[in-house]
Structure 1
C-alpha cells in the first residue's frame, strides 16, 4: 500500500500570510507552500492566498486545523492528502527562476542557470524550508530597496532580524555588503541559512545564529526586519538601539494603517 501524506490548506488574507504560515510551522508543519497569482497553481480569490502545509501524520494535521479554528477570527482550514511519494518533488516543477530585483534573480538549486545579462547576480535559494523565497511582496520590497541603495550598502555591515531563509542578508552580500549578521528565534531555520549561504559562496561573510535582537550587543549601519507589525511593535526600542547613528532601518510586513504607530515607537 502506498503511503498517504496529509496536508492542511487554508485561504488567508495576503497581508496575514507570513504570520499564519509561521503559526503552521509552530503547529508542526514540515513545509508551507503559498499559492497565489505568482505561482502556476490556482490560488484563492482576489486579495487572498492559499497556504498549503504538509504534516507527518493525520493527527498533527487535525490538531492544526483545530488550532486555526480557534483563532480570532477563526480560519476554516481543510484536510487533504496525497498518495505516494511522487509529490515530494513534483512541486519543484512550479518554482521557476524569477527576478527579485532589477539585478538579482532567484534560482532554485536544482536548475542550472548562469547570469544572462550584464550586471545580473544569481541567488541560489532552496524554497520551502524556511520563510523567504522572495515571492512575497514584503520580501521583494526590502530587496528592491537594498538594490536601489547598493552604493551606500557596499562595504558595510547589515543585521537581518527574523532572517528566515536568510534571503535579505544574502541579497545584501550579493550587492556588496561586507558582512551580514542574521538572527532568528527559530533554531531550525539557521541550518537553512548556512546551506543557502554555502550554495552562493557566501558562508565566510555571514554570521547566522538563533537568537533575538535583545541579545545583539553592537550597532549596525544597516538593520532590516521583515516581520509583521504585531512583532515589530514591542521590538521597536531594541531595533533603534542596534542601529548606528545615521544608519538605515528597513522594516516591512506593515500595513498602511499600522505605519504611524510603529514610527512613533
Structure 2
C-alpha cells in the first residue's frame, strides 16, 4: 500500500487545529515541528502569539481524497484558503523509515547522548537519554536545548536538585537525573508537555525522582540548586522574579531560548544579583547566572 503525506505550515493556533483535524479525518500519524531557526515553546505565562511557525505533517492512506480533506479543513477553520501545502506519495516501506531516519543519536558531549528508542546507542556504557520526538518541545536537536544539556553534562550534579521551568518533553530534567541529580521538578502550562515528560521519565527509569505540575501548583517555598529555563527572551524577563526566587544560595540559574542579539537585554534583568557568563551556539545564547556574594535580591 502507498501512503500520502500532507505537509503545511501555519501559525501555532491554526497548526494545532489542523493537527486535530488531520486526526479526525483519519490520519495514521501526525507530527508537528518548529521552524529550524526558532524553537516552539509551551512556556509558563507566555501567550501563543509569541510562538513561531509550525510545520504539520499528516500521513494518510492513499485512498483518501486529499482535495476533499483540505476543503473540509478550510471550512472547519473559517479560512478562505489553507496555507501553502505539499503532498507526496510514499511507498509502504518508506514512510516510517523516512520519519525515523530524521532522528539520529545526538552526542551532547562527554558522557551524554540523546538517543531515539529505535536506535542502538553508539556508546551503550555512556549516559543515554532515550527520547522520541513528539508533540512537546525538546528533542535535543535545537541549539538552545543542546547548550543547556552541555552545561549539565559537564557539571557534577550528584545529590543536587533541579527545576526545569517550561519543561516541554522533560529532556533537561531527565538528563539531569541520569547525570546524578537527586530530585527534579518540571513545570509547564501545557498538559501535553506534562504527559510527555512523565512518559519520557518512565522510559528512562527516573519517574520516581521527577515531580511534574502546572507552575501554579509548584510549592511556593521550593528552592533548588539549578534552575533551568529554556524559554523565550521576553518570557524570561517577565518571569525573572519567579525564577530568581527558586535559586538556592550558591545555586545556578540557566537562561536559554535567547537569540544572540537579545542576550544583553535578558542579562540586564538578572545582573543585579547574579554574575552572568554567556555561551553561544549558532544564533543562540545560554546565560549561566550564579548569585553574587550576599543575599539574592528578588526585584
TM-score, normalized by the shorter chain, greater than 0.5:
yes
TM-score category of the 2 structures, normalised to the smaller one = 0.7 to 0.9
Q: 1:82 to 1:128 in 2, by over 3 A?
A: farther
More helix by share: 1
Task: Work out whether 1:108 is the aligned partner of 2:116.
Answer: yes
Structure 2: state its 5+ residue gaps: 20-29, 38-52, 60-68, 270-299
CA apart distance, 1:226: 0.5
Say if 2:4 and 2:90, in contact at 8 Å, map to a contact too.
Answer: yes
Say if 1:7 and 1:61, in contact at 8 Å, map to a contact too.
Answer: no
Q: 1:128 aligns with which of 134, 138, 152?
A: 134
Q: 1:90 to 1:52 in 2, by over 3 A?
A: same
Task: Work out whether 1:219 is the aligned partner of 2:233.
Answer: no
Task: Work out whether 1:53 is the aligned partner of 2:56.
Answer: yes
How far does the alpha carbon of each residue in 1:215-262 deviate from its partner, in whole angstroms, 9 at most, with x for none? 441111210010110221211111111222221100101123322322
Q: 1:198 to 1:62 in 2, by over 3 A?
A: farther
CA apart distance, 1:135: 0.8
Q: 1:125 to 1:82 in 2, by over 3 A?
A: same
Q: 2:204 aligns with which of 177, 200, 207?
A: 200
Q: Secondary structure at the match of 2:169?
A: coil
- In the alignment, what sits opposite 1:263? 267
CA apart distance, 1:139: 0.3
Task: Work out whether 1:33 is the aligned partner of 2:36.
Answer: no
Q: TM-score, normalised by structure 1?
A: 0.73
Q: 1:62 to 1:127 in 2, by over 3 A?
A: farther
Q: Secondary structure at the match of 1:171?
A: helix
Q: 1:245 to 1:110 in 2, by over 3 A?
A: same
- In the alignment, what sits opposite 2:184? 180
Structure 1: state its 5+ residue gaps: 11-19, 38-49, 70-76
**d(CA) in 1 for partners of 2:256, 2:31:** 23
How far does the alpha carbon of each residue in 1:94-152 deviate from its partner, in whole angstroms, 9 at most, with x for none? 211120232111111122337346xx211110113321111100000011111122x2x
- In the alignment, what sits opposite 1:141? 147
Q: 1:235 to 1:214 in 2, by over 3 A?
A: farther
CA apart distance, 1:181: 0.5
Q: TM-score, normalised by structure 2?
A: 0.66
Q: Secondary structure at the match of 1:232?
A: helix
**d(CA) in 1 for partners of 2:35, 2:163:** 30
**d(CA) in 1 for partners of 2:245, 2:15:** 30
